[in-house]
A and B are shown apart, each in its own frame.
Chain A
């Protein structure tokens, strides 16, 4: 590793810290301005002042704001996250441990689908720029982009689980199978394989199809456009012209020479999609009643559960920062021109 690359990585790391800090701080204070508080949502509107004070003291909400703030920051640094204020006051790490696998199980197939469709149709459109197929692919990508992800989900539900009942409507697994299903990692697919519970595996996979196809398609809209623009630039570069002059077939030029060189920028772009992916996950989880992190966040915002919300958003921020950091470093490794 050269000195300049090391310097780049260190600078980039140092820049990530304030970014996460800003977001986390913003959310901490936004939550405190929220009208209503967790005491009310926990005990109901008719509660005596003493009771409310007692609960407030127990939850640590009577401490000065700055103490709570630094306490929260410390929790974030140690990745401990503290305990939730509502719904049984469980450690947030445990709650996220149950919710996060559902979200990851949803997003991994989704992003794979996006990458596959995006890269192939994007490069195909770029190769045939200004031909009818290019316009058709672009039109389709704008159409897909314009359909709200939850509407796409609802349409799939109407068509493929109500009209033609192929896929289950909602949830992660059939309730009947749930009764003797053993969870180990909370990744239902992995758990089913570990316990060799094949009907459960089938059910878990069937439940994943509609949500992940929905989320994957919704992301495709942006991704096709990004791939296309990058490929067009790449196809205009000198080495492609040189290759063409040597008489290499057009397909080989596009899918081998150009695509290989566009792969890294495209990967970076995929990393940038991560934030959109998380937002899409919130809506997809709501549509398909999946108990994932996005759903958890929405529920807890409604309950004014300060600690749960700020920890979840903190985790999101860390994720986003981590992914973009990873992409930048990857990029810098491959392209020596990127240096600070």
Chain B
């Protein structure tokens, strides 16, 4: 049924275009759509996505508005929300006051437990202390209350000297308390928010995930390259030479291959210690067997071919045979593995960092951000969601490319 549906489309293509020798590379890519259908779209979409991701990875400064390590806002700010205003409520007889007036050690300041107001109070106090003259320290005792009513009652009978609250929460509850007033502003409303919010120490989540792209790409691509550089020649030699060397290598690679990769990577990463180079090495070790097995298998097949036999009888050196006659046959499958491998390596890296075996703690890295976000699971969904989506998206792009390329190139699956 498929060809019938397509035939109307093919008619629109002029005949000369179907003669592939006369068509340019780009147009050839577009014509390929007719034969590969959905897989063509998979390749195209993942290719475009990858170009964008690599661009972000190379030039994160173009996309990220802030330094990923700088504390640029209040902590745990929700995505898209401007830092809200906080007011200081106090007794009427005190008149207009600011925090400085009631921030002595003997003063009590209240807030509703678990509300962002406590965070705001802490931040304003830190700022005050940083600018305070020598010998002066502002550290009022902090009182936590469960509800607004409870805290206002406490303020009314003088248990506390001030109460920090978001004016939206306060609304007109003060009407019932004639001798309480909004005495001053603790912190002005922020002018702009953060697109993806801020994390627990006030870093911009968006800038961190943008810079994380660079780390992920460096680790993913370099570890895949290292495994490639080690695995492909080993597979070629092992398959070509055969004998005891082949048997020993195969056994070694099979045992590596059969073992849970992440656990092996954890052990190696623990030996090498934190650092980007060490992570690359520990991940690279995992994927050497993948290349080795595929390349060795193909070499074993190809070396029996007649044209290899012919080359050998012509006196071609074994190195040339490997390089010119065998290696080119291996390339298509290796390209597919490479693409999937980069995605896998990024996943493994995130896993390692999540478990705490990865990079130094403040690196803008998705795995590290996810691990830290886990502590704030109940309060801040955005700390987990965005880095996690990035890992998934980048891995998706790489594996989709590999998977659909293999569907296109895999001769075993051609329909008879």
Per-residue contact bits, chain B 340-382, to A (CB 8 Å; 1 contact, 0 not): 0001000100110011100000000000001001100110010
**Could you give, for residues 381-401 of chain B, a 1 whenever the CB lies within 8 Å of some chain A CB and a 0 otherwise?**
100110010011101100110
Alpha-carbon distance A225/B42, docked complex (angstroms): 15
Across the interface, do A142 and B370 meet the contact criterion of CB distance under 8 Å? Answer: no
Residues of chain A contacted by B354 (CB below 8 angstroms): 148, 150, 283, 286
Which residues in A have their C-beta under 8 angstroms from that of B251? 15, 18-19, 22
**Residue ID in chain B nearest A236 by CB atoms:** B416
Q: Give the complex CA separation of A221 and B317 in angstroms.
A: 45
Say yes or no: is B262 at the interface (Cβ < 8 Å to chain A): yes
Q: Known contacts A135-B38, A147-B392; is A30 also within 8 Å of B268 by CB? A: yes
Residues of chain B within 8 A (CB-CB) of A22 are 251-252, 255
CA distance A309 to B262 in the complex (A): 14
Cβ contact of A143, chosen from B256, B266, B350, B392, cutoff 8 A: B392
Complex contacts, A269 vs chain B, CB 8 Å: none
> What residue of chain B has the Cβ atom nearest to residue A229's Cβ?
B413
Contacts of A155 in B (CB 8 A): 384-385, 388
Whether B38 lies near A316 (C-beta < 8 A) is: no
Are B37 and A130 closer than 8 Å at their CB atoms?
yes
**Contact of A31 with B259 in the complex, beta carbons under 8 Å:** no
The yes or no answer to B260 lying at the interface (CB within 8 A) is: yes
Question: Nearest Cβ in chain B — how far from A200, in angstroms?
Answer: 25
- Decide: B384 and A286 in contact? CB cutoff 8 A: no
Task: Report the bound CA distance from A256 to B299 in whole Å.
Answer: 38
Check B13 for interface membership: any CB of A closer than 8 A. no
Bound-state CA distance A148–B416 (Å) is 37
- Whether the pair B374, A154 counts as a contact (CB closer than 8 A) is yes
Contact A162 B391 (CB under 8 A): no
CB-CB nearest in chain A for B416: A236
Q: How far is the CA of A22 from the CA of B413 in the complex (A)?
A: 36
Compute how far the CA of A278 lies from the CA of B370 in the bound complex, rounded to whole angstroms: 21
Kindly state whether residue B166 has any CB partner on chain A within 8 Å. Answer: no
Task: Give CA–CA (A20, B370) in the complex, Å.
Answer: 34
Set A34, A132, A154, A225: member contacting B388, Cβ < 8 A: A154
- Once bound together, how far apart are the Cα atoms of A275 and B395, in whole Å? 20
Q: Which residues of chain A have C-beta atoms less than 8 A from B260's C-beta?
A: 275-276, 278-279, 282, 316, 320
CA distance A255 to B144 in the complex (A): 64
Q: Please give me the residue from chain A that is nearest to B1 by CB atom.
A: A131
CA A30 – CA B281 in complex, angstroms? 14
Contact: B403 with A142, CB < 8 Å? yes
A138 lies within 8 A of chain B by Cβ: yes
Q: Is the CB of A146 within 8 A of B351?
A: no
CA–CA, A109 and B258, complex, Å: 22
Whether A282 lies near B262 (C-beta < 8 A) is yes
What chain A residues lie within 8 Å of B350 (beta carbons)?
Answer: 148, 151
Q: Is A301's beta carbon under 8 Å from chain B?
A: yes
With A and B bound together, what is the CA distance between A152 and B27 in angstroms? 40
Q: Could you list 12 examples of A-B contacts with CB < 8 Å? A: A15-B251, A134-B38, A142-B403, A146-B396, A146-B399, A151-B350, A154-B388, A157-B377, A279-B260, A302-B270, A316-B263, A321-B258
In the assembled complex, which residues on chain B have CB atoms less than 8 Å from the CB atom of A206?
none
- Is A242 part of the contact surface with B, judged by Cβ < 8 Å? no
Q: Which residue of A lies closest to B395 (CB)?
A: A146
Q: How far is the CA of A309 from the CA of B396 in the complex (A)?
A: 33
User: Which A residues lie within 8 Å of B261 (CB)?
Assistant: 275-276, 279
For window 222-266 of B, CB contacts with A under 8 Å fall at: 251-252, 254-256, 258-263, 266
Set of chain A residues within 8 Å of B158, measured between Cβ atoms: none
Does A232 lie at the interface of the complex (its beta carbon under 8 Å from any beta carbon of B)?
A: yes
Q: Is A3's CB within 8 Å of the partner chain B? A: no
Q: What bracket does the count of chain B residues touching chain A fall in?
A: 35 or more
Interchain nearest-CB distance for A122 vs B (Å): 14
Q: What residues of chain B lie closer than 8 Å to A309, measured between beta carbons?
A: 267
| Chain A CB within 8 A of B169 CB | no
A317 at interface by CB-CB < 8 Å? yes
Question: Which A residues from 172 to 220 make CB contacts under 8 A with B?
Answer: none
Nearest B residue to A151, CB-CB: B388
Closest to B38 in A: A135
Residues of B within 8 A of A233 (CB): 412-413
Known: A233-B413, A283-B262. A158 touches B355 (CB 8 A): no
Whether A162 pairs with B378 at a CB distance below 8 angstroms is yes
Q: A145: which B residues are within 8 A, CB to CB? A: 395, 399
Of A129, A169, A317, most buried by chain B (CB within 10 Å of CB) is: A317
The answer to whether B259 and A320 have CB atoms under 8 Å apart is yes
Q: Known interface pairs A130-B37, A232-B413, A279-B261. Does A154 touch B377 (Cβ–Cβ under 8 Å)? A: yes
Residues of B within 8 Å of A229, CB to CB, are 413
For the complex, give the distance between the alpha carbons of A34 and B266 in Å.
Answer: 12
Check: B172 CB closer than 8 A to any chain A CB.
no
> Taking A151-B391, A154-B388 as contacts, is the C-beta distance between A301 and B270 under 8 angstroms?
yes
Among B263, B271, B391, find the residue whose CB has the most chain A CB atoms closer than 10 A: B263
With A19-B254, A233-B413 as given contacts, are A148 and B377 in contact (CB-CB < 8 Å)?
Answer: no
A61 within 8 A of B: no
Complex CA gap A61/B149 in Å reads 63
Interface pair B370/A130, CB less than 8 Å apart: no
Residues on A with C-beta less than 8 A from B277 are: none
B304: Cβ under 8 A from any A Cβ: no
B38 A130 Cβ-Cβ under 8 A: yes
- A56–B400 CA distance with the chains assembled, in angstroms: 52
* A279 touching B262, Cβ below 8 Å: yes
Beyond A279-B263, A282-B263, whether A148 also contacts B388 by CB under 8 A is yes
Q: How far is the CB of B300 from chain A (nearest CB, A)?
A: 16
A73: Cβ under 8 A from any B Cβ: no
- Which residue on A lies nearest to B41, using beta carbons? A135
A132-B38, A283-B262 known, 9 other contacts, Cβ within 8 Å: A23-B259, A146-B347, A148-B347, A154-B388, A282-B263, A297-B266, A302-B270, A320-B258, A324-B258
Contact A286 B370 (CB under 8 A): no
Chain A: minimal CB distance from B244 (Å): 13
**Which of A142, A286, A287: most chain B Cβ within 10 A?**
A142
Residue of B nearest to A321 (CB): B258
B263 touches A313 (CB 8 A): yes
Name the A residues within 8 Å of B370 (CB-CB): 148, 150-151, 154
Chain B residues, CB < 8 A from A321: 258
Contacts of B400 in A (CB 8 A): 139, 142
Task: Tell me whether A33 is interfacial, beta carbon within 8 Å.
Answer: yes
Q: A13 contacts the other chain (Cβ, under 8 Å)?
A: no
Minimum CB–CB distance from A292 to chain B (whole Å) comes to 13
